[in-house]
Amino acid sequence: MSKDTNAQTGEIRAFLGDGSKFEGTLVFDDIVRMDGHFQGSITSSDTLIAGQTAEILADIRVGTLILSGKFKGTIEARNKVELRAPAIVEGTIQTPILLVEEGVVLNSSISMPATNLATSPAISD
């Protein structure tokens, strides 16, 4: 089963539950879900899902981030960032695709590099 199929079916390989606290460096290759408190750095080529009870203070570099909780720090996502209500986000976000639901509090600077400049439509005057 490919990683894309895993993300679509919601197959989570690791879980940091509500009420848990972790401080340090987290590196993973599959889908991880967090509902607890995390402080530090997170690196992955795959997906991080942060639930409504998650409180994260971190530098995040992932393939995809799906966030519903509280976040402060920097986000660098190679594929996309999905911010789902009732997320509260402070910091910087760099991603080619950003989806923000109504009800999200977003106080961030956002950088959205083009995924492929050769195929991007030209901006005309």
Please state the three-class secondary structure of the chain as a single string: CCHHHHHHHCCCCEEECCCCEEEEEEEECCCEEECCEEEEEEEECCEEEECCCCEEEEEEEEEEEEECCEEEEEEEEEEEEEECCCCEEEEEEECCCEEECCCCEEEEEEECCCCCCCCCCCCCC
For 110-122, the pLDDT digits (tens) are: 999 876 544 445 5
Please write the tens of the pLDDT for every residue from 8-61.
445 766 666 787 888 999 999 889 999 999 999 999 999 999 999 999 999 999
